[in-house]
Amino acid sequence: MEVLRKLLFPISLGYALVVYIRNFLYDVGFFKSKIFEIPTICIGNLSVGGTGKTPMAEFLISLLMDDYKVALLSRGYRRDSKGFVLASNQSTVGDLGDEPYQIFSKFPKIAVAVDADRRNGIKRLQAKVRPDLILLDDAFQHRKVSYGLSLLLTAYDTLYVNDWYLPTGNLRDSKREAKRADLIMVTKCPANLNRADQKRIIQKLNPVPHQQVLFSCLAYGSEVAGDTNEISLDFFRDKQLTLVTGIANPEPLVVYLKEAGLTFDHLLFKDHHSFTKNELRQLRTKELLLTTEKDYVRLKGKVGNLYYLPIEHRFLGKGRKVLEACLEDFMRSNS
């Protein structure tokens, strides 16, 4: 696979040129970015995935929902529906896509909508919901909207400064566009990442003066959830366990489970995978299935003995306080 990606390098040069021209036309004003009066917070990255955007969106929702009427707008990748869809109790994962459906299931009191057209989605949310602010999931590269606050995520082991354009690398936007972010969040760090290593990464990212760089690690739950009550992760030791993942980078989860003393078979699928009838039939033959929360919402009700491991971002050092202060200042300036 890596050899093939290198052979596709000429295509990546063409892709890079298209990205450069597009951003240049926005920068000089030939293409216009629409500014909305309602506060908008963009959560995104420069790569095709694997930075933890959904857990970060959930983290922000948990911080903001008690004080503000929050709405979340996503594209709804690989959903079956078209156009604008506002989540309701009758919505399915096919209507919304796996990640928006996961968020709505966890936070049913907030408005969750999907629309590939961010401008239209914001307008429809304003008309139907009248929220205090809108979180825009995976929207950093969508420049048709000028966002009030932009959070750029990059994974510790795949920093965007070390990456290259698709299809040779994983970048879908230019590294130079990182300057548009207000906060750069280095996610999936080792929990013991020291200050010297953090400083080294900051120097490599070379943020512009107005940017702050925060660091977070993934925190997995000690208990798993599923169709039955929550049970301890230790329950799975010495059992015939199958791990099922359809996410961009399952490696941190695999490492965590091995360090927890679990042995398992790993069925690896691509990100946002739609499970076929044959694959579901195969999964039904397994004694115990452990998966991610995103995969769980796509598999729930289709296979039995299914569990997922909750996950959240945990900031290192004073990162959480810095983020909370930034959100407070942003909302105060837009009140």
Of 186, 183, 185, 187, whose CA–CA distance to 212 is shortest? 183
Place of tokens 């489970």: 257
As a three-state string, the secondary structure of 62-87 is HHHCCCCCEEEEECCCCCCCCCCEEC
The Cα 64–Cα 135 span in angstroms is 10
Crossing angle (nearest 10°) for helices 98-106 and 53-64:
30
The Cα 278–Cα 327 span in angstroms is 46
- The answer to whether residues 189 and 217 touch, using CB atoms and an 8 Å cutoff, is yes
Please state, in angstroms and as integers, the Cα–Cα distance from residue 194 to each residue in 183, 190, 216, following that order.
Answer: 20, 9, 12
- What residue numbers does the annotated binding site for ATP cover? 47-54
Q: Which two tokens stand for residue 219?
A: 């925190």
- What residue numbers does the annotated binding site cover? 47-54
Please state, in angstroms and as integers, the Cα–Cα distance from residue 32 to each residue in 16, 23, 24, 75, 145, following that order.
Answer: 21, 11, 11, 20, 8
The Cα 6–Cα 187 span in angstroms is 27
Q: Write the burial class of residue 261 (CB in 10 Å: 0-12 exposed, 13-18 middle, 19+ buried).
A: exposed
The Cα 45–Cα 163 span in angstroms is 12
